């Protein structure tokens, strides 16, 4: 069973919601290690302390700290201690709802990048099952970075969406190879020539609904705009649906349809997945939202455990080795 090191002090609701989420994951059979202020964690655990392991860390990296400097200066910060546990083999995965920059810095410098990976990237698993990468880690990219994202995204698709041969699309403003900026045009040729992935050409933002591609690659700036726009669109659609069914002449049908509406809302909620992968490091790393509830934390931990137990890192390493040769 994989052991998941959780930054208990990371997030707006830490440590309480993180601890509760960890207990939910432990009840589902995940081996969880809570890393942070032991006194505060154990106070919240009370008589439930036997369900999870606690490792003390005396410092915390806040959202306003400079991530790289804080990881260097605050060596006993909870996220740094958790990352070193992964690096040392005491855990197979790291989960944090704290500063994304601190999690990225800890993962990159303490866990380390896989051979051949220039820049780890953040991958989001959409409600459709598609993988979009990068969604914010690298605002400026080169074509070779996007090739690496394609390899990482393909491995994620195999593990989480159970697609044997994921189709990779390059996010662009049109389907033709000549479309886009220099980045997209040069990346198109690089992806088309690679034997490490199955490239189907350019795709557009609307293809998130068509499942044209299993993996969509782009730079972190564009990917983050796509992610936030998708989340906002999902909330707007939900609001419009509930507003429409609130009309008096639909009232007799609402009770029958409500389970379907609630199921849709759960599917569209970012908390259902729990977090995004920071892919390209020597351990599984899942970054959760700062405002994560206990449900989101549980799902992030279980997401990390699934990746660790299904060889996500090895799959990425094998793909990268093929792509760079």
The whole-number average pLDDT for the span 120-145 is 94
Output the CA–CA distances (angstroms, integers) from residue 198 to 150, 192, 216, 305, in the order listed. Answer: 9, 8, 12, 27
Domain boundaries, the chain: 1-117+280-309, 119-274
Strand order in the sheet with 198-203: 53-56, 31-36, 3-7, 93-96, 284-287, 276-279, 121-125, 131-133, 215-217, 167-171, 198-203
pLDDT higher than 80, residue 148: yes
pLDDT tier at 137 (50, 70, 90 boundaries)? Answer: very high
Spatial contact of 209 and 216, defined as CB atoms under 8 Å apart: no
| Pairwise pLDDT comparison (30 vs 235), residue with the higher score | 30
Residue range 163-184, pLDDT digits in tens: 999 999 999 999 999 999 999 9
The whole-number average pLDDT for the span 92-106 is 95
**CATH number for the domain running over 119-274:** 3.40.718.10
Residue range 190-225, pLDDT digits in tens: 999 999 999 999 999 988 888 789 999 999 999 999
Domains 1-117+280-309 and 119-274 share a fold: yes
| DSSP one-letter code for 213 | -
Q: Which residues pair with 285 in a beta bridge?
A: 94
CA 65 to chain centre: 22
3-state secondary structure of 276: strand
Output the CA–CA distances (angstroms, integers) from residue 209 to 175, 177, 187, 262, in the order listed. Answer: 16, 22, 23, 20
Residue range 61-84, pLDDT digits in tens: 988 899 999 999 999 999 999 999
pLDDT higher than 80, residue 101: yes
32: enclosing H helix or E strand: strand 31-36
pLDDT higher than 90, residue 274: no
pLDDT tier at 325 (50, 70, 90 boundaries)? Answer: low
Residue 254 has a pLDDT of 79
d(CA 52, CA 19): 9
pTM (two decimals):
0.91
The whole-number average pLDDT for the span 133-158 is 96
Q: Which long-range contacts (CB under 8 A, 24 or more apart) does 231-240 make?
A: 231/270, 234/127, 234/268, 235/268, 237/268, 238/264, 238/265, 238/268
pLDDT higher than 90, residue 237: no
d(CA 169, CA 163): 15
Question: Which residues fall within 8 angstroms of residue 26, CB to CB, at 6 or more apart?
Answer: 32, 51, 52
Q: Which long-range contacts (CB under 8 A, 24 or more apart) does 233-236 make?
A: 234/127, 234/268, 235/268
**What's the angle, vertex CA 127, arms to CA 124 and CA 129, rounded to 5?**
75
Output the CA–CA distances (angstroms, integers) from residue 229 to 131, 140, 186, 206, 286, in the order listed. Answer: 16, 20, 26, 12, 21
What percentage of the chain reaches a pLDDT higher than 70? 99
Spatial contact of 58 and 76, defined as CB atoms under 8 Å apart: yes
d(CA 246, CA 140): 45
Q: What is 1-117+280-309's CATH number, 2.60.220.30, 1.10.4160.10, 3.60.10.10, 3.40.718.10? A: 3.40.718.10
pLDDT higher than 90, residue 255: no
Helices (H), 74-214: 78-88, 100-106, 143-156, 182-193
Mean pLDDT value across the chain: 92
pLDDT higher than 90, residue 15: yes
């Amino acid at each position: 069973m994989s052991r998941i090191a959780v930054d208990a002090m990371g997030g707006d609701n830490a440590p309480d919601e993180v601890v509760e989420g960890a207990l939910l994951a432990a009840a589902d059979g995940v081996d969880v290690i809570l890393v942070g202020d032991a006194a505060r964690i154990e106070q919240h655990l009370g008589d439930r302390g036997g369900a999870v392991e606690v490792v003390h860390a005396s410092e915390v990296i806040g959202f306003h700290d400079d991530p790289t400097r804080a990881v260097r200066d605050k060596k006993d910060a909870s996220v740094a201690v958790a990352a070193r546990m992964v690096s040392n083999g005491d855990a197979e995965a790291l989960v944090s709802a704290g500063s994304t920059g601190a999690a990225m810095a800890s993962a990159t410098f303490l866990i380390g990048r896989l051979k051949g990976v220039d820049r780890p990237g953040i991958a989001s698993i959409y409600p459709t099952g598609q993988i979009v990468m990068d969604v914010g880690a690298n605002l400026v990219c080169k074509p070779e970075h996007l090739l690496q994202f394609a390899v990482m995204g393909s491995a994620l698709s195999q593990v989480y969406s159970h697609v044997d041969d994921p189709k990779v699309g390059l996010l662009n403003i049109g389907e033709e190879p000549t479309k886009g900026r220099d980045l997209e045009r040069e990346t198109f040729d690089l992806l088309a020539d690679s034997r490490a992935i199955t490239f189907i050409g350019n795709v557009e933002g609307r293809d998130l609904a068509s499942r044209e591609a299993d993996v969509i690659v782009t730079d972190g700036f564009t990917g983050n705009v796509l992610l936030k726009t998708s989340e906002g669109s999902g909330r707007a659609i939900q609001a419009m649906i509930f507003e429409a069914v609130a009309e008096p002449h639909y009232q007799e049908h609402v009770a029958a349809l409500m389970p379907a509406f609630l199921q849709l809302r759960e599917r569209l909620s970012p908390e259902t997945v729990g977090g995004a992968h920071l892919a390209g490091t020597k351990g599984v790393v899942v970054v959760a939202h700062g405002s994560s509830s206990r449900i989101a934390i549980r799902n992030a931990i279980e997401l990390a455990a699934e990746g660790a137990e299904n060889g996500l890192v090895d799959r990425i390493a094998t793909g990268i080795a093929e792509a760079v040769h």
